[in-house]
Chain A
C-alpha cells in the first residue's frame, strides 16, 4: 500500500495534468485512490478491507466498514458519496463540456478524503501517523 502522502501527491498530479480525453481513466483512478485511503484506515484498525460493493461502489462499502464503531468517521461519508457522484458524471458523460471541471472537482474531493483520513489517523494515533513522529518522518521523506 502506498502511504497517504503518496496518494495525496498522485491525486494532485491528476488534478493538475488530467486531459479531458483521459477523463474516464482519471475518474476510475480517483475512485481507486479513495478506496486505498479507506483501506489505510481499516487496516490500521486491524481489519481486512472488504471487497464488497455498496450501491455499485467498493468505496462506499469501505466507508461503511470504516465507520462501524466510530460514528465520527461519518464526517467523510458525503465526501465518499461526492466522489462516487463525480465518477458517475464523468463516466456517463465523458464528452460533456464540463468534464475537465468535473475531474478537477473529483480530484479535490478525493484529496479531501485523503487529508481527512490522514488527520483522523493522526488524532487516533493509528499506524505510522503518530503526531510526534510525523514531522520527523516527513522530513526524512523530503530529504531522501
Chain B
C-alpha cells in the first residue's frame, strides 16, 4: 500500500514538462500552473533542454519516432534534471509520455528504435520504469488534495457553476494509464472526476456534463473547420443547457479550440454562447487569492474578467 504522506512529499518537487503549447497558445495554463505552484509551496523544476513530445504530427508519420521523442523528454528528466516524476499539464504531452512508457515496457521493437536513435543523438537511452509521468490534476490532488484546498480557499468559488471538460486524451486509451480505475481515490477513465473534486473543494458547484470526455474536434481544425466548430458548439451548448457559467479545461488544445470555435460558431452559424472558458489552474489560482493577471487570464481569448469581477473573484 502506498503511504499517502510519503507520496505527497515525493511530489512536492517534480520535473515540469510544459511542452510546446504551453509556451504558445496555452501560455495562460503555464503561467497559472507556475503561480499556483508558488502559492502552494510546490516546486517545479523545468526539464532541461526538453523537446516536442511528438504530438500528433510526428505520430501520424511514424509512431516510433514519437515514442523516441517522448522517451528523450523522460531521459532528460531522469538524467539531466535528476527527477523521476514528470508533471505534464498538457493532455497531448501527458498522453504521449504515458504511451511511450507503455510501448517501451511492452514492445521490443520500440526499445530497439529508441536505443538506436538515442545512441545516435548522444544521450542516455530512457528505460521503462525510470520515471513516472503525472498530469497537473494528479499533482494537485496528491500533494494538496481536497482537504488542503478547502482550508486554503475557504470556499472562494462558491456560487460558480462549472462544467468540467477533460477532453479525449486524458483517459484514453485505458491501457496506457494502469493507475486509473483502481477503485476509491483513483481517477476513472469513463467518468473522470479529479478536476470536479478539486474545484468543488474550492467551493464551486459542478454541473452534470455529458460531454466531459467527448472529442473537441482539435484534429479537424485545419482540414474541416466547420466540423470542429460544430463539435465545440455542441460542447458549449451542452454545458449551458446544464446551467454552467464556466467550462474548466485542463488541455491547451481543447481550451484553444473551445475559445476559437466559440467565436467562429457565432460568425459562421449565428449561434452565440456565453459560457466562459478558463483553465482549472486559473480557477484554483483565483480561489487561492491570486490576481487574474498573474494567472494569465487576460491572455485567454474568452473574455471572462468582467464576469469574474461580478462574481467577486478578482
Interface window among B100-108, B133-141, B233-241: B233-241
Q: Which residue of B lies closest to A104 (CB)?
A: B241
B241 surroundings in chain A (CB, below 8 A): 101, 104-105, 108
Q: Which residue of A lies closest to B223 (CB)?
A: A131
A74 surroundings in chain B (CB, below 8 A): 172-174
Q: Which residue of A lies closest to B235 (CB)?
A: A112
**Interface residue tally for chain A (C-beta within 8 Å):** 27
B220 & A75 in contact (Cβ 8 Å cutoff): no
A119 & B210 in contact (Cβ 8 Å cutoff): no
In the complex the two chains form, what is the Cα distance from A21 to B118 in whole Å?
A: 65
A82 & B215 in contact (Cβ 8 Å cutoff): no
A117 → chain B, closest Cβ, in Å?
10
Interface window among B28-36, B224-232, B285-293: B224-232
In the complex the two chains form, what is the Cα distance from A76 to B231 in whole Å?
A: 12
Contact A134/B234 with A82-B210, A123-B219 known, Cβ cut-off 8 Å = no
A57 → chain B, closest Cβ, in Å?
15
Q: Which of B210, B223, B224 contacts A109 (CB 8 A)?
A: B210
A98 → chain B, closest Cβ, in Å?
10
Q: Does B217 contact A (CB under 8 A)?
A: yes
Q: Which residue of B lies closest to A71 (CB)?
A: B173
In the complex the two chains form, what is the Cα distance from A119 to B227 in whole Å?
A: 7
In the complex the two chains form, what is the Cα distance from A119 to B213 in whole Å?
A: 17
A101 surroundings in chain B (CB, below 8 A): 241-242
In the complex the two chains form, what is the Cα distance from A101 to B237 in whole Å?
A: 12
A75 & B215 in contact (Cβ 8 Å cutoff): yes
In the complex the two chains form, what is the Cα distance from A104 to B217 in whole Å?
A: 21
In the complex the two chains form, what is the Cα distance from A121 to B19 in whole Å?
A: 30
A112 & B168 in contact (Cβ 8 Å cutoff): no
A116 & B214 in contact (Cβ 8 Å cutoff): yes
Contact A115/B211 with A71-B173, A78-B190, A104-B241 known, Cβ cut-off 8 Å = no
Q: Which of B214, B223, B227 has the most CB of A within 10 A?
A: B214
B168 surroundings in chain A (CB, below 8 A): 75
B198 → chain A, closest Cβ, in Å?
21
B-facing residues in A14-59 (Cβ within 8 Å): none
Q: Does A63 contact B (CB under 8 A)?
A: no
B227 & A122 in contact (Cβ 8 Å cutoff): yes
A82 surroundings in chain B (CB, below 8 A): 210-211
B238 & A108 in contact (Cβ 8 Å cutoff): yes
Q: Which residue of A lies closest to B169 (CB)?
A: A75
B-facing residues in A74-89 (Cβ within 8 Å): 74-79, 81-82, 85-86
Q: Does A66 contact B (CB under 8 A)?
A: no
In the complex, 15 of the A-B residue pairs with CB atoms within 8 angstroms, ordered by the A residue number, are A71-B172, A74-B172, A78-B212, A79-B210, A105-B238, A105-B241, A108-B211, A108-B238, A109-B238, A112-B211, A112-B238, A116-B214, A119-B215, A122-B224, A123-B220
A residues with a Cβ closer than 8 A to B are: 71-72, 74-79, 81-82, 85-86, 101, 104-105, 108-109, 111-112, 115-116, 118-119, 122-123, 131, 134
7 smallest beta-carbon distances between A and B, as pairs: A82-B210, A108-B238, A75-B168, A112-B234, A119-B227, A71-B173, A78-B213
